[in-house]
Amino acid sequence: MQYCPQCGNKTESKIPKGDNRHRDVCDACDLIHYKNPRIIAGCIPVWEDKILLCKRAIEPRKGFWTLPAGFMELGETTEQAAIRETLEEAEAVVQTHELYAVFNLPHINQVYMMYRSALLKPEFSSGIESLDVQLFSEQEIPWGDLAFKTMRMSLEYYFEDRKAGSFKFRSTDVERPKCR
């Protein structure tokens, strides 16, 4: 950041008093500008023995399948964000059960928060960010065409726990993919 959004003066990257990280600090008004991770909230929507997936209509990973999820907005809880994203991407109404998985991706400054949820009725369609929306059994999941590692892991955890007959909270650190 070169200029302060509060007063318009130049900022300088420095470690503020009492801090331990470089921050952009305004030379004129001394406002400290923090950069924090982005929160992605989503659902694992279940109808009977199937999971609702969306085929992405936007980049990144356009044309690949994902669970409904997206960036949390100001003024909402993670649960509200997950429900909103499911409605926006799949035009589906869900009831959340509980926070099921948290994925930390420090290499891209993101945190994913996935809720186990029930699809209230089998009514859904493609939202503006989806090319297609479908229910899949475990055997039908397009495993090779999933958009993100976090979505694959959410599904793997879900099916593993479903087989065990007990769902447990998961917290996972996702490492930077190795270059090929």
Answer whether residue 31 shows pLDDT above 80.
yes
Q: How confident is the model at residue 158 (pLDDT cuts 50, 70, 90)?
A: very high
Res. 24 pLDDT band, cuts 50 70 90: very high
Classify domain 1-35 by CATH architecture.
Single Sheet (2.20)
Q: Is 47 exposed, middle or buried (0-12, 13-18, 19+ CB in 10 A)?
A: middle
Residue 56 C-beta-side C-alpha neighbours within 13 Å = 17
Assess contact for 163 and 79: CB atoms under 8 A.
no
pLDDT of residue 125: 98
Residue 164: pLDDT over 70: yes
Mean pLDDT of the chain: 96
Q: Where are the domains of the chain?
A: 1-35, 38-173
Tell me how many degrees the CA angle 137-92-90 measures, rounded to the nearest 5. 75
In whole angstroms, how far apart are CA 128 and each of 54, 57, 81, 85? 11, 8, 17, 11
Name the percent of the chain lying above pLDDT 90.
91
Q: Indicate the burial class of 177 (C-beta count within 10 angstroms; 0-12, 13-18, 19 or more).
A: exposed
Binned at pLDDT 50, 70 and 90, residue 1 comes out as confident
pTM of this prediction?
0.90
Q: What is the DSSP letter of 89?
A: H
- How far is the C-alpha of 162 from the C-alpha of 156, rounded, in Å? 10
Residue with tokens 């859904």: 124
Going by pLDDT thresholds of 50, 70 and 90, the confidence category of residue 180 is: low
Q: Kindly list the strands in the beta sheet with 11-14, ordered across the sheet, starting from the edge strand earlier in the chain.
A: 11-14, 23-26, 32-33
pLDDT in tens, 113-131: 999 999 999 999 998 999 9
The pLDDT value given to residue 170: 97
For the residues 146-163, what does the mean pLDDT come to? 98
Q: How confident is the model at residue 163 (pLDDT cuts 50, 70, 90)?
A: very high
Mean pLDDT of 169-174: 97
Each residue of 40-76: pLDDT tens digit?
Answer: 999 999 999 999 999 999 999 999 999 999 999 999 9
Distance of alpha carbon 33 from alpha carbon 2, whole angstroms: 11
| Distances in whole angstroms, Cα of residue 148 to Cα of each of 3, 62, 95, 157 | 35, 11, 24, 14
Give 87's DSSP letter. Answer: H
Looking up tokens 């599904």 gives 155
Structurally, at CATH architecture level, domain 38-173 sits in Alpha-Beta Complex (3.90)
Torsion angle (degrees, nearest 10) of CA 127, 114, 64, 110? 110
- Split at pLDDT 50, 70, 90, the class of 99 is very high
